[in-house]
Structure 1
Amino acid sequence: MDIINFIMEEALILIPVLMILGKIIKNTPRVKNWTIPYILLVIGVALTSLILGFGIESFIQGVLVTGTAVFGHQLIKQAKNYHLE
């Protein structure tokens, strides 16, 4: 099962946007790493609501795109760490 099949085409653009915003937030002083996924979740839901309109479907899409962005980042990070060992 592929999570991308559940994300609406209009919301797919938010995955790289959230990954870039996450990198920017990570380099911001005084922002703790554990808060980054929560910040991205709020941003993801807000941006999805702007694209799709306010509703439960846009909330779910926001959670899915944020989860995909954070999970994708972790896959890349873990693959790099594994390669270095």
Structure 2
Amino acid sequence: MSETDLLVLAKQYMADKALIVVVVLLFIGYFLKRTPKVADWMIPWALTLVGIVMACGMLGAFSVVNVVQGILAAGIANLTHQLWKQTTDKRESDQDGN
């Protein structure tokens, strides 16, 4: 999946106002990753909760649709991070040609 495919998916299913939540969640995730007392398994859960709260706040109401927007924003933020990480991080098995 390329960057443009990800952007098309985001625009297709996300409300325009909720797209900023994805960017904010990427920054929050970046800082949580560098916080020593936050375990890695907690970061996606924290981003999901923050995404739900932010989406409901940005879209003006607590509703099922807005909760789904927050979950989608967190999912896109996590997917973006993983795509970046898996593309840029070099593993020994990749370097050996195995």
Q: Distance in 2 between matches of 1:46 and 1:79?
A: 30
Greater than 3 Å deviation, 4+ residue runs: 82-85
CA separation in 2, counterparts of 1:37 and 1:49? 18
How far apart, in 1, do the equivalents of 2:56 and 2:81 lie? 23
Match of 1:59 in 2: 67
Give me the TM-score of the superposition, normalised by structure 2: 0.80
Give how far 1:30 is off: 1.2
TM-score w.r.t. length of structure 1:
0.91
Partner of 1:13: 20
Q: What is the letter of the counterpart of residue 26 of structure 1?
A: K
Q: How many residues align?
A: 85
Give 1:81 deviation, angstroms: 2.0
Q: Take 1:25 and 1:79, find their aligned partners in 2: how far apart are those partners? A: 21
Aligned CA RMSD, in angstroms, stands at: 1.8
SS of the residue 1:73 aligns to: helix
Deviation at 1:34, TM superposition (A): 0.9
Larger radius of gyration: 2
Deviations along 1:10-39, one digit per CA (max 9) or x if unpaired, are 100111110000011111121100110000
SS at match of 2:62: coil
Q: Which runs of 5+ in 2 are unaligned?
A: none
- Matched residue, 1:71: 79
Equivalent residue for 1:33?
Answer: 40
Cα shift at 1:82: 4.8
